[in-house]
């Protein structure tokens, strides 16, 4: 017999060799129908895999990320099987589960081109195969056997992957007539997959290398119930309406130009105002928390990034070295702000009495993203981070970390992000080699983050392998208005850069010590944050943030002069107002400005000009009646002040 410990601490005995699905059946028949995978001693298992020792377990359903991962990973294999049936000779790259569904990179060969028109027949073949109820069978083989199996089938992409694996046992999964290289876990059988939607076809270079073959990437998503697919399709229709690229164009916030370069956003006046409002808000909050603003160059000597370790880790993803007229001198476009902030700290000797030092900067950085990966503002080559770096003593670390959490709470409150999970991102337990620094310092950093999150009462999940190369972090995963998840806000603890840059302070013992460094970016990047905010709000921002708080619309050209007088008065009262004096009917002007999400529409005609008043309409609510210009100004400023006060006092 073996002892199985459940998440609530309950311990039950089962026969050696019990499987996850059998444990679920012992609890209830309903659970057995809903469970999709199981974690056994922190390792994900197939439900049919035998458990041969005492273990702590957690059963995962569709409501758990682990359950969805097993479901979508199994679906990727099912799609590959369908492709193999429909396109004999197809070769396979990788087919992972992703945040919303899965994809598979395939080489169809013979000049075969797959388009969106081909997706319905692939869906039908997948459904047909799913109904066959074929088991996902795991087989463990040696590396030599794996190479022989895929070599005989001329699967060069799989052979390349296998050659990079360490010697030892390798797992295969087979369902029906399809066999794949995979670590799992997978569903018990294909019949769990009830509803299928293949979304799109794209090109993807093998291993992300533009010099390697371009494969065909097929994206899809599946569900255990048809109603989940129906809900998903409604969400996707809403997402199309909220697409930040569409809204950004309609609202004249930003644009891109091939002449400037791919992935290099140009912020138009309204977008620049939006960014300025966000930056001013965060600067005001940061000032209350003792931050000091600094400004650093957009380029740096290549040796700066070699010292920090960023060049070794991300050199290939950086814009390559800039040569100067001086021989042997090389610079990089700044890929990170933190090395510059370390140099700012070193400007003068520091005492423990000076700490914590809190440097903040809206610093623009540059990273080379492949053209196929660029997407609106969410994946760009030039972006501005709301970066800050705190240098503190060990005794100050936890309190400083918790204060950063407080700042993130204020931002979420300000922008109505009410649903979020804090992800504790730690080292990969099995691959410490990809991180820099001493194990002892990593242990202390991870402990500080876990304790700070617990003391703030955060709803947390732990993800191994998601740490930065120099330290663990706390990432905030928010859910937007239509249920999608985004990563916004990050806080990282770093013992390693202070060591690499030889940062010091003199302690109370009159000895030199290393400070601890906290990296934090509540917005993350201004570009990505604005994209998420646009889609979360549908472009309808709170009054304090919106680029244009009011638009003045004269009924005819006769009242343009009065409209300009109103505009001048409002602008002098710090209200962001604009004039729409187009030679259009007032109904057209109202419709157009409603689409632009302008909060207040001001109509002026003969009555208003005579009485020195304005007629006010509120976005989405209609007519508010007549006010004097002064009354309207006071009304707007009071609303803005009320919004900001409630946020900052949160």
Query: Is residue 99 scored above 70 in pLDDT?
Result: yes
Residues across the chain: 650
SS3 315: helix
Q: Does residue 328 share a domain with residue 422?
A: yes
Catalytic residue among 180, 387, 475, 494: 387
Report the distance separating Cα 178 and Cα 175, nearest Å. Answer: 6
- Annotated active-site residue 367? The verdict is yes
- Annotated active-site residue 342? The verdict is no
Q: Which of 223, 231, 229 is nearest to 71 (CA)?
A: 223
Going by their DSSP bridges, the two strands 382-392 and 516-521 should be labelled as antiparallel
SS3 181: strand
Report the distance separating Cα 220 and Cα 123, nearest Å. Answer: 9
Mean pLDDT of the region 1-8: 91
581 in any annotated domain: yes
Asked whether residue 338 is marked as a ligand-binding residue, the answer is yes
Q: Does residue 302 share a domain with residue 270?
A: yes
Query: Is residue 323 scored above 80 in pLDDT?
Result: no
Residue 470: predicted pLDDT:
78
CA distances to 70, 221, 585 from 99, rounded to whole Å, are 12, 10, 47
Cis peptide before 185 (omega within 30 of 0): yes
Q: Does residue 560 share a domain with residue 414?
A: no
Q: Which of 361, 343, 346, 360 is nearest to 300 (CA)?
A: 343
Residue 439: predicted pLDDT:
82
- Annotated active-site residue 385? The verdict is yes
Query: Is residue 328 scored above 80 in pLDDT?
Result: no
Residue 326: predicted pLDDT:
80
How many domains does the chain divide into?
A: 4
Query: Is residue 437 scored above 80 in pLDDT?
Result: no
Q: How many CB atoms lie within 10 A of CB 211?
A: 7
Single residue among 241, 275, 308 that ends a domain in this structure: 241
- What pTM was estimated for this model as a whole? 0.81
120 in any annotated domain: yes
Q: Does residue 315 share a domain with residue 417?
A: yes
Query: Residue 100: enclosing H or E segment and its boundaries?
Result: none
Lowest mean pLDDT of 425-439, 468-482, 594-608, name the range.
425-439
173 in any annotated domain: yes
285 in any annotated domain: yes
239-243 contacts: CB < 8 A, separation 24 or more? 239/482, 239/484, 239/535, 241/538, 242/482, 242/534, 242/535, 242/536, 242/538, 242/539, 243/376, 243/535
Q: Which residues share a beta bridge with 463?
A: 425
Q: Per-residue confidence at 73, pLDDT binned at 50, 70, 90?
A: very high
Mean pLDDT of the region 417-434: 81
Residue 87: predicted pLDDT:
94
Q: Which of 575, 561, 550 is nearest to 606 (CA)?
A: 561
Assess contact for 136 and 77: CB atoms under 8 A. Answer: yes
SS3 103: strand
219 in any annotated domain: yes
Report the distance separating Cα 213 and Cα 204, nearest Å. Answer: 9
For the chain, percent of residues with pLDDT exceeding 70: 99
- Annotated active-site residue 392? The verdict is no
Residue by residue, DSSP assigns 385-400 as EEEEEEEE-GGGHHHH
227 token code pair:
């109603």
- List the alpha helices (DSSP H) in 525-628: 526-537, 560-572, 586-595, 606-611
- Annotated active-site residue 338? The verdict is yes
Catalytic residue among 125, 158, 519, 576: 519
Residue 648: predicted pLDDT:
66
Q: How crowded is the C-beta side of 51, counted as CA atoms within 13 Å?
A: 29
Per-residue pLDDT tens for 566-619? 999 999 999 999 999 999 999 999 888 888 888 999 999 999 999 999 999 998
- List the alpha helices (DSSP H) in 29-140: 29-34, 65-86, 119-130
Q: Per-residue confidence at 650, pLDDT binned at 50, 70, 90?
A: low
Domain housing 36: 2-61
Q: Per-residue confidence at 649, pLDDT binned at 50, 70, 90?
A: low
Catalytic residue among 91, 125, 389, 576: 389
Per-residue pLDDT tens for 204-263? 889 888 889 999 999 999 999 999 999 999 999 988 999 999 999 988 999 999 999 999
Report the distance separating Cα 484 and Cα 420, nearest Å. Answer: 11
423 in any annotated domain: yes
Per-residue pLDDT tens for 335-390? 899 999 999 999 999 999 999 999 999 999 998 887 778 889 999 999 999 999 99
For the chain, percent of residues with pLDDT exceeding 90: 70
Query: Is residue 440 scored above 90 in pLDDT?
Result: no
Q: Per-residue confidence at 49, pLDDT binned at 50, 70, 90?
A: very high
Q: Does residue 237 share a domain with residue 266?
A: no
Q: How many CB atoms lie within 10 A of CB 603?
A: 22
- DSSP-assigned letter for residue 208: G
Q: Which of 199, 409, 123, 188 is nearest to 285 (CA)?
A: 409
Tell me, rounded to whole angstroms, the distance of Cα 469 from its chain centroid: 18
Per-residue pLDDT tens for 250-297? 889 999 999 999 999 999 999 999 999 999 999 989 999 999 999 999
Asked whether residue 389 is marked as a ligand-binding residue, the answer is yes
Q: Does residue 71 share a domain with residue 55?
A: no
pLDDT: which is higher, 540 or 505:
505
Residue 78: predicted pLDDT:
97
SS3 467: coil
Single residue among 241, 266, 282 that ends a domain in this structure: 241
590 phi and psi angles, rounded to 5 deg: -65, -45
Query: Is residue 105 scored above 70 in pLDDT?
Result: yes
Q: Does residue 263 share a domain with residue 384?
A: yes
**Where residue 136 sits, what CATH number does that domain have?**
3.30.980.10
Q: Does residue 220 share a domain with residue 71?
A: yes
Residue 597: predicted pLDDT:
84
Mean pLDDT of the region 305-315: 83
276 in any annotated domain: yes
Query: Is residue 462 scored above 80 in pLDDT?
Result: yes
CA distances to 72, 79, 180, 222, 520 from 184, rounded to whole Å, are 11, 16, 10, 17, 35
Catalytic residue among 473, 520, 596, 617: 473
Assess contact for 212 and 205: CB atoms under 8 A. Answer: yes
Query: Is residue 312 scored above 90 in pLDDT?
Result: no
Cis peptide before 511 (omega within 30 of 0): no
Report the distance separating Cα 604 and Cα 632, nearest Å. Answer: 13
Q: Is 344 left (phi over 0), alpha (psi -120 to 50) or beta?
A: alpha
């Amino acid at each position: 017999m073996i002892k199985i410990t459940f998440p609530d601490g309950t311990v039950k005995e089962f026969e050696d060799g019990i499987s996850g699905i059998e444990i679920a059946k012992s609890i209830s028949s309903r659970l057995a129908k809903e469970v999709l995978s199981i974690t056994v001693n922190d390792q994900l298992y197939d439900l049919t895999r035998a458990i041969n020792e005492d273990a702590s377990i957690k059963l995962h359903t569709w409501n758990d990320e682990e359950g969805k991962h097993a479901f979508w990973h199994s679906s990727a294999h099912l799609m590959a099987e369908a492709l193999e049936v429909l396109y004999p000779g197809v070769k396979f790259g990788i087919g992972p589960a992703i945040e919303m569904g899965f994809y598979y990179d395939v080489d169809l060969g013979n000049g075969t081109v797959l388009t969106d028109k081909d997706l319905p027949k692939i869906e039908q073949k997948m459904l047909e195969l799913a109904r066959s109820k074929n088991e996902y069978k795991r087989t463990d083989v040696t590396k030599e056997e794996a190479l022989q199996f895929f070599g005989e089938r001329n699967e060069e992409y799989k052979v390349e992957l296998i050659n990079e694996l360490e010697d030892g046992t390798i797992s295969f999964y087979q369902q029906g007539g399809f066999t794949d290289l995979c670590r799992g876990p997978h569903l018990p059988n294909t019949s769990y997959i009830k509803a299928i939607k293949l979304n799109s076809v794209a090109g993807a270079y093998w291993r992300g290398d533009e010099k390697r073959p371009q494969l065909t990437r097929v994206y899809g998503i599946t569900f255990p119930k048809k109603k989940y697919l129906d809900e998903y399709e409604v969400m996707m229709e809403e997402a199309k309406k909220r697409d930040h690229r569409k809204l950004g164009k309609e609202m004249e916030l930003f644009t891109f130009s091939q002449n400037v370069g791919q992935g290099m956003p140009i912020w138009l006046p309204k977008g620049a105002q939006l960014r300025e409002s966000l930056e001013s808000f965060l600067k005001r909050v940061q000032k209350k928390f003792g931050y000091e603003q600094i400004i650093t160059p957009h380029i740096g000597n290549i040796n700066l990034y070699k010292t920090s370790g960023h060049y070794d880790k991300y050199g290939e993803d950086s814009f390559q070295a800039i040569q100067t007229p001086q021989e042997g001198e090389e610079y990089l476009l700044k890929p990170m702000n933190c090395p510059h902030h370390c140099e700012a700290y070193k400007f003068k000797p520091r005492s423990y009495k000076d700490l914590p030092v809190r440097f903040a900067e809206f610093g623009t950085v540059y990273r080379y993203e492949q053209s196929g990966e660029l997407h609106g503002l969410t994946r760009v080559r030039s972006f501005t981070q709301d970066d800050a770096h705190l240098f503190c003593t060990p005794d100050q670390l936890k309190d400083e970390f918790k204060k950063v959490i407080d700042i993130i709470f204020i931002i979420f409150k300000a922008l109505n992000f009410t649903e979020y999970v804090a992800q504790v991102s730690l080292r990969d337990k099995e691959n410490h080699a990809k991180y820099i620094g001493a194990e002892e310092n990593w242990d202390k950093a991870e402990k500080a983050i876990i304790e700070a999150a617990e003391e703030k009462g955060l709803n947390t999940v732990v993800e191994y392998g998601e740490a930065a190369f120099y330290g663990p972090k706390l990432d905030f995963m928010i859910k937007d208005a239509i249920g999608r998840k985004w990563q916004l806000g990050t806080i990282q603890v770093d013992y390693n850069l202070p060591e690499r840059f030889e940062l010091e302070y003199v302690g109370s013992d009159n000895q030199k010590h290393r400070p601890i460094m906290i990296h934090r970016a509540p917005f993350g990047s201004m570009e990505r944050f604005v994209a998420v905010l646009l889609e979360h709000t549908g472009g309808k921002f709170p009054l304090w943030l919106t680029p244009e708080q009011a638009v003045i619309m004269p009924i005819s050209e006769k009242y343009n002069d009065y409209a300009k007088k109103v505009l001048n008065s409002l602008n002098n009262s710090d209200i962001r107002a604009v004039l729409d004096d187009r030679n259009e009917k007032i109904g057209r002007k109202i419709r157009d400005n409603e689409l632009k999400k302008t909060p207040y529409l001001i109509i002026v005609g003969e009555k208003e000009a005579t009485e020195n008043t304005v007629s006010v309409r509120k976005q989405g609510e209609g007519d508010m009646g007549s006010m004097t210009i002064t009354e309207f100004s006071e009304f707007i400023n009071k609303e803005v002040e009320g919004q900001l006060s409630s946020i900052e006092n949160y």
